[in-house]
Amino acid sequence: MIEQYGWSDPLGQAFAPYARAGQTPGRILVQQRGAYLVASDDGELRAKPSGRLLHQAREAGHPAVGDWVALTVNRAEATATIHAVLPRRTAFVRRAADSLQTPQVVAANIDVAFVVTSMNADLNPRRIERYLAAAWQSGARPVVVLTKADLCAEPEVQAAQIAAVAAGCPVLVVSARQGLGMDLLLAQVGPGETCVLIGSSGVGKSTLVNALSGAERMATQEIREADARGRHTTSHRELVPLPGGGLILDTPGMRELGLIDADDGLGVVFDDIERLAEDCRFNDCGHGGEPGCAVRGALESGDLDAGRWEHFQKLGREVAAVDRKEDRAAKDAERRRLIALQKTHRSSKKVRRDD
């Protein structure tokens, strides 16, 4: 049962101390007002955090959908108590406007973040950049998905435009309406891996979730079941298995991530890097080998991940480049560049998908 939800050997090792304490592993399918639905080897269980975990949650935050947890199980009632949350590999975090508040984890242990934008929307590089950065920040692998290909005569041209701001991420072209490219999406999510869709409202995320996870989810979504005490609780699942052994996580909180203004730019999602740079000796430090560079220092000590730094730089450059293209002449030149790029993109697509 839990293998279906992505249980793995490393998780088993992390769980060993809890297993010795007689606890059972589970993964959170739904969170609803302090109560949870958890998948376990004893089936789906309604679970509540222990008093101790609730107390810790004041500082560490609450368990979230996608979390792996340690449970004690009441089999007769199909209920459980959550005692601990296993370390998260990745997390999407919503930061409250008041940054002193505990950051709230919206979704945990996500491997792939599909950044969804649609063919009929205006190309908004800043918005794509923002979603890409949010994906990168979470620790998940970003993959750009261009939806509604059926509405576009030359989807490849748009794909090339987006590839130009996507800093090396794969760019997939799909149409849920025509059932086009669904296999490409599924191929990005390995067995036991979990994906999410992020992107602005109306780009086709719900349609894609339904197309990917099948009609089953739709049918179960609104069903209400009585629990052991006869009360009614919603029983939809926000973590759903996909064909091919992957999972899709679709929780309302992820949609709200999209409400943050794209114009906040890189600083908000890469604020750790911005803060680091404030510690550089020189105000105008280019982080290229200047003495007293805090960014270089963090890279050398491993406090700053090299891939993350590279991505930050790439995104910064590309966004700045797009911002500069205000006048018409520059736009014409850009169009010619994109057509050339489109040719390269076409011939190198197979290679790109693997990097």
For residue 24, the one-letter residue type is T
Choose from ligand GDP, Zn ion, none: what does 203 bind? Cβ within 5-8 Å by kind: ligand GDP
Binding mask 144-183 for ligand GDP (x = CB under 6 A): ---xx-xx-----------------------xxx------
Question: What three-state secondary structure class fits 68?
Answer: strand
Choose from ligand GDP, Zn ion, none: what does 287 bind? Cβ within 5-8 Å by kind: Zn ion
Q: Which of residues 245-284 bind Zn ion (CB under 5 A)?
A: 280
Told to check if 207 binds ligand GDP by CB under 6 A, we report: yes
Distances (CA, A) of 11 to 2, 109, 336: 11, 11, 50
Measured from the Cβ of residue 255, the count of other Cβ atoms closer than 10 Å reads 17
Tell me which of 37, 112, 146, 285 binds Zn ion, using CB under 5 A.
285
Q: Which is nearer to ligand GDP, 47 or 115 (CB)?
A: 115
Count the helices and strands in the chain (H runs, E runs).
Answer: 14, 15
Told to check if 293 binds Zn ion by CB under 5 A, we report: yes
The token pair that represents 333 in the structure block? 């030149």
Compute the distance between CA of residue 24 and CA of residue 40 in angstroms, rounded to an integer: 8
Distances (CA, A) of 207 to 147, 218, 222, 256: 10, 11, 17, 17
Write down the least CB distance from residue 175 to ligand GDP, Å.
Answer: 4
The token pair that represents 284 in the structure block? 């105008």
Write down the least CB distance from residue 179 to ligand GDP, Å.
Answer: 9
Choose from ligand GDP, Zn ion, none: what does 43 bind? Cβ within 5-8 Å by kind: none
Choose from ligand GDP, Zn ion, none: what does 285 bind? Cβ within 5-8 Å by kind: Zn ion
Q: Where are the alpha helices (DSSP H) in 104-148?
A: 125-138
For residue 114, the one-letter residue type is F
Q: Which is nearer to ligand GDP, 150 or 156 (CB)?
A: 150
Compute the distance between CA of residue 213 and CA of residue 199 in angstroms, rounded to an integer: 18
Told to check if 127 binds ligand GDP by CB under 6 A, we report: no
Told to check if 29 binds ligand GDP by CB under 6 A, we report: no
Chain residues that interact with Zn ion, rule: CB under 5 A: 280, 285, 287, 293, 295
Q: Which residues bind ligand GDP (CB under 6 A)?
A: 147-148, 150-151, 175-177, 201-207
